[in-house]
Structure 1
Amino acid sequence: MGRRTVDEHAARVAALLGPVLGALGNERLVLADALGRLNADDVIAPIALPPFRNSQMDGYAARAAEVAAAPLVLPVGGVVAAAPATAAVLPLATLLKVMTGAPLPEGADCVVPVEDTAPATGGVRVLAPRTAGEFVREAGSDVQAGALVVAAGVRLAPRHLAALAAVGVAAVAVRRRPRVAVLTTGEEVADPGAPLAPGQIYDANATALRALVAESGGDVVRVVRTGDDPAAFAGALDAAVAQADLVLTCGGISKGDFEVVRQVLEPRGAEVVEVAMQPGGPQATAVVAGVPVIGFPGNPVSTQVSFTVFVRPLLRATAGLPPLEPRTLPLAEAIRSPAGRRQWLRGCVRDGTVVPVSGPGSHLVATMAAADVLLDVPAEVERLAAGDLVAVVPL
């Protein structure tokens, strides 16, 4: 079994996944389904916005020159609603009542807000003068037809979808999400909620990886658990690579007697290596039918740490999600770390310091729920004192 540093194995995983993630292509989605997706192409406005001159206020369309001597009374010649209608024309020395968003009548160059008017015999009293252009939204004042609305590479937020809808775009090309299959193994694991037989534990890895992949911008298309039978795992693997762009496996790659993933993958050219890290030492990589397969250890904390370190950054970048960069914080208490292995301790950020959560064991999945960061302790460091700085990676 080879020995790699964390950075060397991360580079290996990136080399396998990079071409696949870079060749996903695009798909077209209606706006209702495009939230959070990575916009594939520049979207150009097919119309101006607003598409016509309209009133910014409920009030009265007027000619500025005719209300310059306000206060004065002018007759009201009708009402223009914010609705489809034949273009209205403003008669001379007359007002037309307009609603917010209503087309500005031809001849009008300003709007007198209703708050600046009062009822009067023979019409409406205009209480204050207006200048040309006041409370008028000009056509194209938001965006001109032919102008860029949303650029390629933007992760679509609600504000982007609103802008696209406003210019009449109903669907948009987005980067396709990677399809990910999750295969967990082990005779000893059972579905959550099922009764446990003696010697069994519940399968946390399927739930964890499904959630981690979704959070990182991937689509989980298949989740299957097999026991320790190589034929059953091989069948599940073949079905997974037929459907997915990436397969993640849990367990079965160490040095025991029932290492089903290793037994099936090594004859197909897999590399099963020891990475100088804790937790997560055993790691596997393979390509099956052109599909990358990344194998994690079976202990639940090892699985989560391995995904976070090796796969999460690649999926997030593909989805256009911001990178979760490490930061440096002082330790709230001293820690020890085994020499020669890069340690990923669980911790919690409190009052500008990081507090280790529980111990280093790879089985401590319940206590990991209390953590919000991983402490990245270099392989050459055996002890850090309270107050020493340590890199922390957000969970």
Structure 2
Amino acid sequence: MTTYAEALRQILEQTAPMPPAPKPLAEALGLPVAEDILAQEALPPFTNSAMDGFALRGVDILPGVRLKVLGTVAAGQVAEQNVVAGTALRIMTGAPLPEGADTVVPLEHTNHGEDWVEFPKPVKTGSNVRLAGEDIQPGTRVLEAGTILNPAAIGVLASLGLDRVAVRPRPRVAVMSTGNELVDASQKPGPGQIRDSNNPGLCAQITALGACAQPFPRVRDTREAVEAAVREALATCDVLLTTGGVSEGDYDFVKVVLEELGASKLFWKVAQKPGGPFGVWSLNGKLIFGIPGNPVPAMVMVEEYVRPALRKMMGFQTLFRPERQAILEDAWKKGKPDGKIHILRVMLREEPDGLHARLTGPQGSGVLSSMLLANGLAMVGADTLEVQKGSSVLVHLTEEPEDH
């Protein structure tokens, strides 16, 4: 069987970033910018007031001196009069500084009337003035390619007159559940039936990492139904993710159908637990992840394999969650040597002596509550038969962002 590391390597080698495309700022939040952004304008574009107050010449600010107020300059207006010796203009925050003025005195630091103003305290010349270009000069590299567009970056781009930015689009991921036994969450299961938790759960994982999840109607366990669904999904998606029907049972048709359609197999079966019957194919340049139907390995496979691939497609430079060594508070051992890496769901917490990990409870493939309680995955090596209580284990921090 393929090892965990080899499977991940093959997936990422087969994954290419999406071609860049200009997107509205509202759609680009959280994505890496695809190219350097150079400022074409100054920011601020003109010298303006940082306060509500009076615009004047600094040399005129003397105790006991009364200046004549010529009028008011509101934000969005330009003064019709220049400031000359012995005069001032009322000014609002953001309004262009009038010609001749070099200082703004806040309203609350003055004594003033309808057409006069005095200054009980000294004020430094140049105070409360925002100079044109003091934030960003034309030609400045505002963002480097690969910078993740956070709200501040979106605001800066808008200030510079950019309403679109080149990013790599969010991949469209079709999420398809297979199985005659599955019913909607709103339905009461009949004999032998279960509610489908994979489709909504995996779509939530896809959406949370920033890609576009496309939930697909459930597929019956027949060769014809699987083939029709795969063809339909691949016509509209960038990545196909199937759950169930990928093993070797009498009703497992995903692998068979993909090979009949000419899909190129990267691997099938990985030496890991949970999630051994896991395969990845490529067809017409699109990756297809065949994920086991049990809910725990389904979520673990998306976390460990699908997430890094989708991040690469979106142009992120950091693909993997942070990892650390943690002290395992539970003794754990394999039932027998199996040559598989074991992925354990753990609860992590910081203590004075370092990071501690505690198992979330039973680790069976169907115990979905073990994922609900987990904020980390402990990676126990294939050759490790037992982990003593208090020993160190490598953990992936599944609630920390990759760029943490």
TM-score of the pair, normalised by structure 1: 0.92
2:70 and 2:115 in contact (8 A); partners too: no
**In the alignment, is the contact (CA less than 8 A) between 1:348 and 1:354 conserved in 2?**
yes
Match of 1:38 in 2: 32
- Aligned equivalents of 1:292, 1:317: Cα separation in 2: 13
Q: Cα distance, 1:222 vs. partner? A: 4.5
Contact 1:270 1:284 in 2 (8 A): no
Among 197, 203, 206, the alignment partner of 1:213 is 206
- The residue matched to 1:111 in structure 2 has which SS? strand
Count of aligned residue pairs for this structure pair:
388
CA distance in 2, matches of 1:71, 1:249: 81
Q: Deviations over 1:55-86 (max 9, x none)?
A: 1222211112222x323222212111112235
- In the TM superposition, residue 318 of structure 1 has moved relative to its aligned partner by 3.6
Displacement after TM superposition at 1:295 (Å): 0.8
The 5 Å alignment of 1:225-244 reads 225-244=218-237
1:101 paired with 2:94, answer yes
Give the C-alpha shift of residue 93 in structure 1: 1.2
Candidates 176, 186, 190, aligned match of 1:197? 190
1:221/1:243 contact within 8 Å kept: no
Deviation, 1:152, is 2.1
Aligned mates of 2:299, 2:217 — CA distance in 1: 17
* CA contact 2:78–2:95 (8 Å) conserved in 1: no
SS of equivalent residue, structure 1 residue 282: coil
1:347-386 superposed matches below 5 A = 347-350=346-349, 351=351, 352-386=355-389
Q: Flag structure 2 segments of 5+ consecutive residues without an equivalent.
A: 399-404
Q: How far 1:255 moved relative to its partner? A: 2.4
The CA deviation string for residues 232-276 of structure 1, in whole angstroms up to 9 with x for no partner, is 110110111111121111111222211111221233355463311
209-218 vs 128-137, which deviates more?
A: 128-137
| Partner deviation per Cα, 1:1-30 (whole Å, 9 max, x = no partner) | xx11111121222233x2xx32x2122222
- Tell me how far 1:379 sits from its aligned partner: 0.9
Among residues 175, 181, 203, which one is paired with 1:188 in the alignment? 181
1:107-129 deviations in Å (ceiling 9; x for gaps): 11112222221136972222233
Checking the alignment, whether the CA contact within 8 Å between 1:251 and 1:295 is kept in structure 2 is: yes
Give the conservation status (yes or no) of the 8 Å contact 1:241–1:289. Answer: no
The equivalences for 1:1-395 within 5 A come to: 3-16=1-14, 18=15, 21-22=16-17, 24-67=18-61, 69-119=62-112, 123-267=116-260, 268-269=262-263, 271=265, 273-319=268-314, 320=316, 322=318, 323-337=320-334, 338-339=336-337, 340-350=339-349, 351=351, 352-395=355-398
Task: Name the CA distance, whole Å, in 1 between partners of 2:397 and 2:308.
Answer: 12
Identity %: 36
Give distance in 2, aligned partners of 1:354 and 1:374.
9
Q: Distance in 1 between matches of 2:181 and 2:24?
A: 44
The one-letter amino acid paired with 1:366 is: S
Q: CA deviation at 1:147?
A: 2.1
Query: Structure 1, unaligned stretches of length 5 or more?
Result: none
Once the 2 structures are TM-superposed, how far is the Cα of residue 370 of structure 1 from its aligned partner? 1.2
| Contact 2:43–2:136 (8 Å) recurs in 1 | yes
CA distance in structure 2 between the aligned counterparts of 1:76 and 1:86, rounded to whole angstroms? 13
Large movers: runs of 4+ above 4 Å:
none
Take 2:242 and 2:80, find their aligned partners in 1: how far apart are those partners? Answer: 65
Q: Give 1:382 shift.
A: 1.1
Q: Distance in 2 between matches of 1:170 and 1:110?
A: 34
